[in-house]
Amino acid sequence: ILPSSQQPRLTLWVFMRPLDKIDIFHYRDYSKHEVDIILEGPGGNLVAIEVKSAQSLSHSDFKNLRYFK
């Protein structure tokens, strides 16, 4: 593990339409399937976002997005 001064940093800028046109949700069901962020745009279009803080990703990190689909 790298010292904190050498760890990579992530900066994320998100540009989108005014929020009054986009609804933001969090999803979790009784079976503990969970999606961190769901955006619903005009016409009911959905975008699911999973947030991870890890050095690497695995196939299982996306299981809830596949379930939500």
Burial of 35 (0-12, 13-18, 19+ CB in 10 A): buried
Question: What pLDDT sits at residue 61?
Answer: 82
In the structure, what pLDDT confidence band is assigned to residue 68 with cuts at 50, 70 and 90?
A: confident
Instruction: Grade residue 66 by pLDDT with cuts at 50, 70 and 90.
Output: confident
Binned at pLDDT 50, 70 and 90, residue 6 comes out as low
* 48, 34 contact by CB (below 8 A): no
**Residues in contact with 54: Cβ distance below 8 Å, sequence separation at least 6, in sequence order:** 61
